[in-house]
Amino acid sequence: MTQVGAFEAKTHLPKLLEQVRNGASFVITRHGHPVAELIPVRTADSDTVRTAIEGLKAFQRRHTLDGLSVRELIEAGRRY
């Protein structure tokens, strides 16, 4: 990763952001010490999101409250 000083990053932020949008990554330093990373945002594709949701639904079906309400569980937790 390319290192960029904090002052340079502040001065040239629009240019750095354009490069990050195109896949570049930077380590921002202050007095030569790394303090932050400027990296592209990772977006989840719809298949990944759909798979995660289905996994949560399957988990929910396998784990029931055995007739208890959520309110009863909260109240029981407060007693202990």
Q: What are phi and psi of 5, to 5 degrees?
A: -70, 155
28 alpha-carbon distance from chain centroid: 20
Greater confidence, 74 or 28? Answer: 28
Per-residue confidence (pLDDT) for residue 55, from 0 to 100: 94
Q: So what's the pLDDT on residue 45? A: 87
Question: Which residues are bridge partners to 5 per DSSP?
Answer: 29
> CA 17 to CA 74: how far, in whole Å?
46
pLDDT of residue 78 exceeding 80: yes
Report the candidate in 57, 51, 27, 56 with the shortest Cα–Cα distance to residue 39: 27
- Which pLDDT score is estimated for 60? 82
- Other Cβ atoms less than 10 A from the Cβ of 16: the count is 19
pLDDT digits (tens, 9 = 90+) for 16-72: 999 999 999 999 999 999 999 999 998 888 899 999 999 999 988 888 778 888 888
User: pTM for the whole thing?
Assistant: 0.56
